[in-house]
Amino acid sequence: METTEQEYIPYSQRPDWADVTPIAQDDGPNPIAPIAYTDDYKDAMGYFRAISRAKEISLRALQLTEEIFWLNPGHYTAWAYRLEILKQMNIDLHSELEFLDEFAEYNPKTYQLWHHRREIITLLGEPLKELDFVATVLADDAKNFHAWAYRQWVIRHFNLWDGELAFVEKLIDEDVRNNSVWNQRYFVVTRGSTVALNSAVVNAELDYCFQQIAQAPSNECPWVYMKGLLHKFGSSQHWVTVEQRIHALIAEEPESTDEGLAKYRPSRHLWGTLVEVQAAKLRCADEVAKLVQETPEAVTSKCKQEVQAMCEMLGKELDPIRQKYWQFRTHQLVSM
């Protein structure tokens, strides 16, 4: 295994490469902004151009691609060439996974690494210990987008939904503000083959959201998750229930406590969610009217009054940086 930490030996000094004439990069006679490549990288790429032009499939070509990765982890052409070598030489792909495991320790956010790993696992046709591997990567960086995207692919491709919700809840318990984990929860709940997304499931998810909101009302994650779930799968009853539960939170707490200001009243996410509730009620005023035993006209009038009051408070007090947005939202909803 060669890494950038080891002393680089020019390929011209390696006996097993004596038969290859390197091809230098041609940027033209007057390049406008030439890239200042290192001498090591220019040397390795000269030999890579030569063997790729010759379409050489060999172990030394495989080793060369690896050395290029340590110099430039995102070299997608070298990754594609490496995959072709592995296929044609019928090399043990389990050893390739060992290389990828080590490489990921130093380059966990290189997209090409994750794409290559996906190709290898597809060829193997088995998930092996992929979810454990991704969990290890996430333990170092729980917001690694590439790791989460790969994990979702593994779960879908091999139907590994069982246990994923428990994994997600463990990470939320560790960091309730980790938006990446909340995104994974939405993925599992809305797409998981083991979950039938009926009204009972939506209610259970709302309960879970309010449990997490109680820990940190100013945390945006559960509010966004809840709104996303309701917009996609919520009924009129769900929106009304959320409104009632939010107002109950506000009504049950004093305006101030021994520790200072109340938890819920200053939350711009709470009031922003209530604005979305009013928008949903305006869209289905007839259904809401039956639930609350009022006329559709009364529901509509009340919703618009609520929108104006809440958006004004958000724009002036709780979320002034987005004052223009709340003014727009007021105009949009009141005009419905």
Nearest to 97 by CA among 68, 65, 135, 123: 123
- pLDDT bucket at 195, cuts 50 / 70 / 90: low
| Residue 277, domain member (yes or no) | yes
How large is the average pLDDT for residues 30-44? 92
Asked whether residue 75 carries a pLDDT value surpassing 80, the answer given is yes
Q: Is the pLDDT of residue 253 over 60?
A: yes
pLDDT tops 50 at residue 2: no
C-alpha 78/C-alpha 68 separation (Å) is: 7
Cβ atoms 230, 280 nearer than 8 A: yes
Residue 104 one-letter amino acid: A
* Residue type at 279 in one-letter notation: A
Q: What is the pLDDT of residue 261?
A: 58
Task: Decide: residue 211, CB within 10 A, 0-12 exposed, 13-18 middle, 19+ buried.
Answer: exposed
pLDDT of residue 4: 45
| 209 occurs within a structural domain | no
Q: Which residues are catalytic?
A: 109
Mean pLDDT over each residue of the chain, to the nearest integer:
93
Per-residue pLDDT at 56 exceeds 50: yes
Mean pLDDT of 139-149: 97
Range of the domain at 311: 235-336
Question: 123 is written with which tokens?
Answer: 């060829």
pLDDT score of 252: 82
Cα radius of gyration (the chain): 28
**Is 327's pLDDT higher than 90?**
yes
pLDDT bracket for residue 264 (50, 70, 90):
confident
pLDDT digits (tens, 9 = 90+) for 146-173: 999 999 999 999 999 999 999 999 999 9
DSSP summary character for residue 328: H
Q: Tell how strand 260-261 and strand 256-257 pair up.
A: antiparallel
Residue 243 lies in a domain: yes
Asked if residue 49 belongs to a domain, the reply is no
The span from the CA of 265 to the CA of 250, in Å, is 6
Q: What is the pLDDT of residues 204-246, one digit of tens each?
A: 999 999 999 999 989 999 999 999 999 999 999 999 999 999 9
Cα angle: 210, vertex 213, 216; to 5 degrees:
165
Domain count along the chain:
1
The predicted structure's pLDDT at residue 313: 96
% residues pLDDT > 70 (the chain) = 94
The whole-number pLDDT of residue 30 equals 87
Decide if 92 is inside a domain.
no
CA distance to 95, 131, 217, 293, per residue, from 252 (Å): 60, 43, 14, 25
9 pLDDT exceeds 80? Answer: yes
Backbone angles phi, psi at 260, to 5 degrees: 135, -145
CA–CA separation, 222 and 214 (whole Å):
10
Which residue type is seen at 33? A
Q: Is residue 117 part of a domain?
A: no
| Residue 308 resides in a domain | yes
Residue 319 in domain: yes
Looking from the CA of 143 toward its CB, the CA atoms found within 13 Å total 5
pLDDT in tens, 95-120: 999 999 999 999 999 999 999 999 99
